[in-house]
Amino acid sequence: MAKRHIPLILFAAGLTTCLALDLTGGLDPYVAQIVIYIGINIILTVSLNLVNGYMGEFSVGHAGFMAVGAYAAAYASVNLLPHSAWFFPLALATGGICAGLLGLLVAIPAFRARDDYLAIITLALLMIVKSAFDNLPWFGGPQGFYGIEKYTNLSWVFVWTVLSVAAIRNIVYSRFGRAIIAIRDDEIAATLVSVDTRHTKILAFVTSSFFAGIAGGLFAHVIQFINPRTFSLVKSTDILLMLYLGGGGSLAGSIVGATIWTLAIEFLRFLGIWRFVVAPVALIVLMIYRPRGIMGGRELPWLVPRDYRKE
Amino acid sequence: MPLLQVNNLSHSFGGLRAVSSFSLTVDHDMVWGIIGPNGAGKTTVFNLVTGVYKPDSGSVLVNGENIEGLPSNRIVAKGISRTFQNIRLFKSMTVLDNIRTGAYCRLGYSPAAAIMRTPSFLRAERDATERGRALLSEFGLGDRENHIASSLPYGMQRKVELARALVSTPCVLLLDEPGAGMNPSELDGLADLILRIKREYGVAVVLIEHRMRLVMRLCDRVKVLNFGETIFEGKPQDLAANATVVKAYFGEADEPAAR
């Protein structure tokens, strides 16, 4: 058995475990819910990492892409597709593609604007998305969108988490990933060593928003009710927080950051409203001692493709 | 057909005429030198040729093809590579990744192929890695490929930049003050390296340089710029005999001579 089969075997084992737990209901529903949120948050954080961590932009609109994915997937599964779990992947894909198209729109101003200006553009996007769902007649307005089936389970979350991490890893360790990091380090020099920065930015934004849309679709089908307030700036801030907690520019950082933050918010529940004081204070302390996040931009070796590892 | 032909290029920054009517014909197997005092417009010429600035007038032909309006990355893909006066490596990347980034335009695979890690993707990546390693070992940096670029000493960073410019297989290499900050023996090493690159990779070279030691050893022909105007064109040996050049570049008789 070759070494390169190990990831595939681990994937099969993980999926089998998830399927067994889903079918037998062997996991406490509360625990299962937390695990599902961890998966969704990993997808959100890893996808934001591509733009904010690797490319060094500062997008604050990730919740907007998530919202588009959530609404589009929910609309598809409730109103367009037959009511069967078999069509759930199609609903999710609808959410991902709609969010990806919106990402394409954001990539265009990103050709010129950077840093604070791009942050403002993405903030504006978030506001537009939120007020669109508040006011468009098809999505329930401020009351929200009801009647979404609970299709999201451990297996789907597992599959999509692995897919998003793998896809983003494979982009990072290719000419496109080098181009993305080159844009972060020195955009002018990047174009002058033949990097197509426009193409690269489109790829980064579309991939990032596609997976945010998938995460939104998964989220809608576990919480079963969404409204525009769910996807406010606070949601974007949450994702940013998980990213910088783990450290930008590292897949392991995103996984660790999303997991720790999701668990922390749950385990601190006994503190009541004080958990929203304690957790951020803990974060500030961490940032003082590890300003580049828990992983500090480093990667776990097994997340790096074999041909990229340093001998 | 010349590899690179620059016709009557002019460019102004506001009211300042940075470059006026600059022309240059670069043929195979040739080393051009561009010299002149600080602010003479030398780097601006490179920026105009590589598409960083759009010229007010004039044209640039690469292998006979007008590159007007092309973005920089497409111009590099057509065979014009450059280095920078202040080294501009990607400072968070390893040395090898810096060089592989330079191969962007020579790697044709699509994002989908990268995500799926198809056999053709893996082959292309392996080739790029091997080419990068070959360049590094040729430049005596074989043991540094996993070092972070910004951690290397200055002279090595210059070499990495050179390797990064070469990996896109250019036909013309534009070098912006490659000898800056080097001592005389390092300069001789650099001259040997540039001559070897020229021979082995078949590139023509255009060199902006202040260090006369390098200019004299390398250049077949020299152009002298002063305030954007070309004040001399000819063999480097004839430089010292030209009164205008001496006055503009080396200063008046009572000032110290060139470095």
How many Cβ atoms from other residues are within 10 Å of residue A64's Cβ? 33
Q: Note whether A192 contacts B: Cβ–Cβ < 8 A.
A: yes
* pLDDT for position B259: 46
- Residues of chain B in contact with residue A192, where contact means CB-CB under 8 angstroms, are 50, 52, 72-73, 76, 82, 84
B193: three-class secondary structure by DSSP: helix
Q: Within the 169-188 window of chain A, which residues sit less than 8 Å (CB to CB) from chain B?
A: 170-171, 174-176, 178-179, 181-182, 184-186, 188
pTM: 0.93
What single string gives the DSSP state of each residue in A119-183?
HHHHHHHHHHHHHHHHH-GGGTGGG-B--------HHHHHHHHHHHHHHHHHHHTSHHHHHHHHH
CB contact under 8 A, A194 and B168: yes
Q: Please check the confidence at residue B255 and state whether its pLDDT lies above 80.
A: no
Among partner residues A185, A196, A197, which is closest to B93 by beta-carbon distance? Answer: A185
Selected residues 49-88 of chain B with any CB under 8 Å from a CB in chain A: 50, 52, 71-73, 76-77, 81-82, 84, 88
Q: How many residues does chain A have?
A: 311
Residue B257 has pLDDT above 80, yes or no: no
Q: What is the pLDDT at residue B254?
A: 54
**Would the pLDDT of B206 be above 90?**
yes
Query: A297 lies in a domain?
Result: no
pLDDT the model gives residue A6: 87
Instruction: Please give the single-letter amino acid code of residue A250.
Output: S
| pLDDT score for B250 | 67
Q: What is the pLDDT of residue B246?
A: 77
In terms of residue numbers, what domain contains B39?
Answer: 4-79+170-250
pLDDT at B253 over 60: no
Asked if A193 lies within 8 A of B116 by C-beta distance, the reply is no
Residue B89 domain flag: no
Does residue A226 sit within a domain? Answer: yes
Contact A189 B104 (CB under 8 A): no
pLDDT, residue B248, reads 75
Q: Which amino acid is located at A152 in the chain?
A: T
Measure the CA–CA gap between A215 and A238, rounded to whole angstroms.
14
A132 token code pair: 């669109």
Residue B87 resides in a domain: no
Does residue B42 register a pLDDT over 60? yes
In chain A, which among 288-307 make CB contacts under 8 A with chain B? 297, 305, 307
Q: How many separate domains does chain B show?
A: 1
Integer CA distances (angstroms), A131 to A67, A127, B44, in order: 11, 6, 48
**Residue A33: inside a domain, yes or no?**
yes
Closest-CA residue of B relative to A182 is: B90
Average pLDDT over residues B18-27: 95
* pLDDT tens string B44-102: 999 999 999 999 999 999 999 999 999 999 999 999 999 999 999 999 999 999 999 99
Task: Name the residue facing B90 among A167, A170, A186 (closest C-beta).
Answer: A186
Report yes or no on B14 lying in a domain.
yes
Residue A272: what pLDDT? 84
Residues of B in contact with A301 (CB under 8 A): none
Residues of B in contact with A182 (CB under 8 A): 90, 93, 101
pLDDT recorded at residue A311: 54
Question: Does B73 reside within a domain?
Answer: yes
Q: What is the pLDDT, as a whole number, of residue B252?
A: 62
In a domain, A268, yes or no: no
Q: What HEC string does B204-256 produce? A: EEEEECCCHHHHHHHCCEEEEEECCEEEEEECHHHHHHCHHHHHHHHCCCCCC
Domain membership of residue B67 (yes or no) is: yes
In a domain, B190, yes or no: yes
Please say whether the beta carbons of B180 and B85 come within 8 A: yes
Note the ipTM here.
Answer: 0.92
Residue A242 maps to a domain? no
Domain residues for A152? 27-231
CB proximity A75 to B under 8 Å = no
Q: Would residue A66 count as lying in a domain?
A: yes
Residue segments in chain A with a per-residue pLDDT below the cut of 70: 1, 310-311
Asked if residue A213 is part of any domain, the answer here is yes
**Cβ-Cβ contacts under 8 Å, B50 against chain A:** 192
Where does the pLDDT of residue B186 fall: very low under 50, low under 70, confident under 90, or very high at 90 and above? confident
pLDDT band at B111 (very low <50, low <70, confident <90, very high): very high
B57: domain CATH number?
Answer: 3.40.50.300
Count of structural domains, chain A: 1
The verdict on residue B150 lying in a domain is no
- The secondary structure of chain A as a DSSP string is --GGGHHHHHHHHHHHHHHHHHHHT-S-HHHHHHHHHHHHHHHHHHHHIIIIIIS------HHHHHHHHHHHHHHIIIIIS-SSGGGHHHHHHHHHHHHHHHHHHHHHHHTT--HHHHHHHHHHHHHHHHHHHHH-GGGTGGG-B--------HHHHHHHHHHHHHHHHHHHTSHHHHHHHHHHH-HHHHHTTT--HHHHHHHHHHHHHHHHHHHHHHHHHHH--B-GGGGSHHHHHHHHHHHHHH-TT-HHHHHHHHHHHHHHHHHGGGGGGGHHHHHHHHHHHHHHH-TT-SSTT---GGGS-GGGS--
Residue A44 lies in a domain: yes
Q: For testing the chain B interface, which of A46, A162, A164, A194 should be mutated: the one with the most B CBs within 10 Å?
A: A194
Q: For residue A196, give the nearest of B73, B125, B129 by CB distance.
A: B73
The answer to whether A66 and A216 have CB atoms below 8 angstroms apart is yes
Among candidates B73, B84, B115 on the partner chain, residue whose Cβ is nearest the Cβ of A194: B73
Q: Cβ of B125 under 8 Å from any chain A Cβ?
A: yes
Residue-wise pLDDT tens digits, B132-165: 999 999 999 999 999 999 999 988 999 999 999 9
